[in-house]
């Protein structure tokens, strides 16, 4: 009886977490596309890069938490992607402009890989 109820709550929590992650990635993608369409420079670029770094910092912190229940290999992969995100945003900040397509593509791929039940 309790086991079944716990499973339902845990499943609901995971579904809600995936939904929040999906929405957060979607917001980052919108900012990146907006910045790209504005010429990938200036304030729109800075705001987009801030959004990328903010979200991926959260993902990075989450996967290094010892209580994170994801498989170790998946956690390592997310950490590696996070490092790539920071390297790419750093390069774009230094240049003051650049091509955002790779950042967009990776974030879209990860967003679309999340299973969100409606």
In whole angstroms, give the CA distance from residue 19 to residue 84.
24
- Asked if the structure places residue 25 within a domain, the reply is yes
- Asked if the structure places residue 6 within a domain, the reply is yes
Q: How many domains does the chain have?
A: 1
Print the SS3 string covering 60-116.
Answer: HHHHHCCCCCCCHHHHHHHHHHHHHHHHHHHHHHHHCECCCHHHHHHHHHHHHHCCC
Domain membership of residue 46 as a residue range: 2-113
- Asked if the structure places residue 72 within a domain, the reply is yes
**For each of the chain's 118 residues, which pLDDT tens digit applies?**
434 443 344 455 778 888 999 999 999 999 999 999 999 898 999 999 999 999 999 999 999 999 999 999 999 999 999 999 999 999 999 998 889 999 999 999 999 998 654 4
| Neighbouring residues of 55: CB distance < 8 A, sequence distance ≥ 6 | 24, 25, 28
């Amino acid at each position: 009886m309790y086991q079944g109820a716990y499973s339902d709550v845990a499943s609901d929590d995971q579904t809600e977490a995936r939904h929040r992650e999906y929405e957060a990635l979607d917001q980052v993608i919108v900012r990146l596309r907006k910045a790209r369409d504005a010429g990938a420079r200036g304030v729109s670029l800075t705001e987009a890069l801030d959004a990328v770094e903010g979200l991926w910092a959260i993902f990075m912190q989450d996967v290094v938490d010892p209580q994170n229940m994801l498989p170790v290999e998946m956690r390592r992969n997310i950490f590696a992607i996070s490092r790539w995100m920071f390297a790419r945003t750093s390069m774009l900040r230094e240049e003051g402009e650049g091509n955002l397509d790779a950042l967009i593509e990776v974030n879209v791929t990860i967003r679309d890989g999340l299973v969100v039940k409606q």
